[in-house]
Every structure is written in structure tokens, then in C-alpha cells.
Amino acid sequence: MNQLTTTEAALITRKLKDISDTWSDLWVFLHLVPIVVSRAIDLRYSCFDGKSLTFEERGKFKAKQIAASPLVCELIQRRREKYPDDIFIFQSHSNRVRRIGKPVTVIAFNRALKSASKGVTEKTVSSKSAQW
């Protein structure tokens, strides 16, 4: 996998913001927190205590607690203020699931990344491109 440059990552962030603030926030979050995208999208606001993130045991993943950097705290608090009724930090607001309260999907996120990376890089960009 080819590593994205800082400039490429920043341009993709900007283009994602034009598509959806949820996609750009998730992209930034994945750059800041050392977890896989499937764990990030399952995060609920109840897993954030203002200083750290608690990841529940699920499948092959063990329970884990990570200190949240000031940037991560700001991102989560901003999303909470904008979407006060959401359960998940990265909740879908599509008409299909708006009333149910479900997290975004990895497939939809990767589709948005593919679209945002066009004209920025020839590299294949997916949710894994943001991982440490």
C-alpha cells in the first residue's frame, strides 16, 4: 500500500468535507486514533468520557481504552453539538436509516474516499489509508 503524503491527505479531507462532514471527521479521526475503521464507526457517545475512548470487546477485538487527544475531544464535542440526538459518533443521516440511529458503513465511507481522491492521487485510497 502506498502511503499518502500530508498534502494528499489534506486535499482528500477538504474534498470529503464538501461531500459530508461525517466523512471528513471520520477520516481525520482515523488519522488521530490508532484503531481500525470498523471500531471507529461503532463508537457511541457513551464510550467517550471527555478524556478517553472506551472500546468494548467485540468479535476478535479485545476491550481497550485510549486517551483522547485534544483534537479528538474537540472533534467529538463538535459533532455532539451539531447532532445532539445521535447515539453513534459517526451516525448515518441518510434517509434510509435516519430514524433508526445506525452508524455509517465502511462501504459508504470507502465510496466517499474513492470519490474524494479522484484528481488528488493515483494511489488507491481506502479507510486503511488513514491507519497508522
Q: Which three cell numbers stand for residue 26?
A: 471520520
Q: Where are the alpha helices (DSSP H) in the chain?
A: 6-19, 21-32, 37-41, 70-82, 106-117
pLDDT at 56: 86
Tell me the pTM.
Answer: 0.90
What pLDDT was estimated at residue 128? 87
Q: Answer for the pair 92, 106: CB distance below 8 angstroms, yes or no.
A: no
The domain locations on the chain are 6-130
> Are the CB atoms for 105 and 38 separated by under 8 Å?
no
Per-residue pLDDT tens listing for the chain (132 residues):
578 888 999 999 999 999 999 999 999 999 999 999 999 999 999 999 999 999 988 888 899 999 999 999 999 999 999 999 999 999 998 776 667 788 999 999 999 999 999 999 898 898 888 865
For helices 6-19 and 106-117, the axis angle rounded to 10 degrees is 110
Spell out the residues 6+ positions from residue 65 whose beta carbon is closer than 8 angstroms to its own: 52, 53, 54, 55
CATH of 6-130, one of 1.10.443.10, 3.40.50.1860, 1.10.760.10, 3.40.50.970: 1.10.443.10
Residue 84 pLDDT: 95
Give the per-residue pLDDT at 97.
Answer: 63
